[in-house]
């Protein structure tokens, strides 16, 4: 309270000195003297307070020392307590840490923290930054390669079932794995659909082999002229054509004026 009063006297003396007419030298000199005396009293009081505080800090009892060490041992619990507010943690950091120098580490996402504590000790901490959002949701090359292996003989929903059995039933964002996810990954990484069974042809290959349109091939399938099977609905046909059926289809195309004309038009 004495210091606060002394600061008020200094401010008051300063304002009075600034308000006096400089031409009135006697009053100006008196006010200046009072201002200096007030400033000196404030300086003496602040020095007295500093000396008192130094004396108190140096006189630490054994009980106080034990209490301080106990608080230090409980520091992790204090830091993680729900009652410790963020502003309290900032104050704790300012009391413990003098400064921190941040430099880039050996890796792209690595940082090196050079911590200098208030006691003079130094410490180097390695910190790894969290991945970027696009990297966090990106599938690993190993996972993509696994889909590539499964896609050789399995369709999308079969791949989903196999991945779930292997413990990969969710996407990188936590959502359930679906056949749409597998289809998008195949499109992105250019993974082809399951190949037809050995010795079978798809509709496009039959069209190229006999020079007919895909409508003709679908007609043959619907009439049972050729044997075609599907692994699942809305998937590609696997068409089986033996030597006898091959000769029959070639004679059909050669003797049909409509198909022969269509074949010539496609060739032209």
Mean pLDDT calculated for residue range 137-163: 83
Same domain, yes or no, for 215 and 257? yes
Q: What share of the chain in percent tops pLDDT 90?
A: 9
Same domain, yes or no, for 183 and 148? yes
Same domain, yes or no, for 149 and 113? no
Task: Identify the domain containing residue 225 by its residue range.
Answer: 200-267
Does residue 258 belong to any structural domain of this protein? Answer: yes
Q: For residues 137 and 147, which has the higher predicted lDDT (pLDDT)?
A: 147
Among 100, 128, 156, where does a domain finish? 128
Same domain, yes or no, for 109 and 67? yes
Count of domains observed in the chain: 4
Same domain, yes or no, for 46 and 69? no
* Cut 0.85: pTM above it: no
Residues 97-117: tens digit of each pLDDT: 999 999 987 877 889 999 999
Does residue 193 belong to any structural domain of this protein? Answer: no
Q: What is the pLDDT of residue 123?
A: 92
Dmax (CA) of the chain: 135
CB atoms within 10 A of CB 207: 17
Q: What is the pLDDT of residue 261?
A: 47
Among 105, 128, 151, where does a domain finish? 128
Q: For residues 170 and 95, which has the higher predicted lDDT (pLDDT)?
A: 95
Does residue 195 belong to any structural domain of this protein? Answer: no
Residues 178-234: tens digit of each pLDDT: 888 888 888 888 888 776 666 788 888 888 888 888 888 888 888 888 888 876 666
Report in angstroms the alpha-carbon separations of 224 from 176, 217, 227, 258: 40, 11, 6, 20
Does residue 194 belong to any structural domain of this protein? Answer: no
Among 78, 102, 128, where does a domain finish? 128
Does residue 8 belong to any structural domain of this protein? Answer: yes
Same domain, yes or no, for 121 and 147? no
Estimate the share of the chain in helix, then strand, then coil, as percent rounded to the nearest 5: 60, 15, 30
Tokens (6 digits) for 246 = 């091959």
Same domain, yes or no, for 208 and 259? yes
When mean pLDDT is compared across 2-6, 164-168, 183-187, 264-268, the lowest value belongs to: 264-268
Mean pLDDT for the chain? 82
Q: What is the pLDDT of residue 264?
A: 47
Secondary structure class of 136 (helix, strand, coil)? helix
Does residue 51 belong to any structural domain of this protein? Answer: yes
Same domain, yes or no, for 54 and 77? no
pLDDT band at 258 (very low <50, low <70, confident <90, very high): low
Does residue 257 belong to any structural domain of this protein? Answer: yes
Does residue 260 belong to any structural domain of this protein? Answer: yes
**Cα atoms found within 13 Å of the Cα of residue 226, Cβ hemisphere only:** 28
CB atoms within 10 A of CB 147: 21
Residues 9-57: tens digit of each pLDDT: 999 988 888 888 878 888 888 888 898 999 999 999 998 888 887 766 5
Same domain, yes or no, for 167 and 219? no
Q: What is the pLDDT of residue 72?
A: 74
CB 84 within 8 A of CB 71: no
Q: Whose structure tokens read 């930054």?
A: 129
């Amino acid at each position: 309270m004495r210091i606060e009063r002394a600061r008020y006297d200094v401010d008051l003396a300063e304002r009075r000195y600034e308000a006096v007419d400089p031409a009135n030298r006697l009053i100006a000199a008196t006010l200046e003297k009072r201002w200096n005396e007030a400033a000196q009293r404030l300086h003496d009081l602040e020095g007295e307070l500093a000396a008192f505080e130094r004396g108190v800090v140096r006189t630490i009892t054994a009980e106080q020392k034990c209490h301080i060490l106990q608080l230090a041992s409980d520091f992790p619990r204090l830091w993680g307590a729900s009652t410790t507010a963020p502003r309290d943690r900032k104050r704790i950091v300012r009391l413990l840490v003098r400064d921190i120098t941040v430099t880039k580490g050996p890796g792209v996402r690595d940082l090196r923290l050079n911590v200098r504590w208030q006691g003079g000790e130094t410490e180097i901490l390695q910190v790894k930054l969290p991945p970027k959002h696009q990297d966090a949701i990106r599938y690993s090359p190993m996972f993509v390669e696994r889909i590539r292996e499964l896609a050789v003989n399995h369709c999308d929903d079969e791949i989903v079932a196999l991945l779930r059995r292997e413990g990969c039933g969710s996407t990188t964002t936590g959502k359930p794995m679906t056949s749409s996810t597998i289809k998008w990954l195949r499109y992105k990484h250019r993974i082809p659909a399951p190949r037809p069974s050995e010795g079978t042809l798809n509709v496009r290959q039959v069209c190229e082999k006999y020079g007919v349109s895909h409508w003709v091939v679908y007609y043959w399938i619907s009439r049972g002229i050729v044997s075609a099977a599907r692994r699942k609905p809305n998937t590609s046909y696997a068409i089986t054509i033996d030597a006898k059926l091959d000769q029959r289809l070639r004679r059909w195309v050669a003797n049909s004026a409509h198909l022969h004309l269509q074949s010539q038009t496609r060739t032209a």
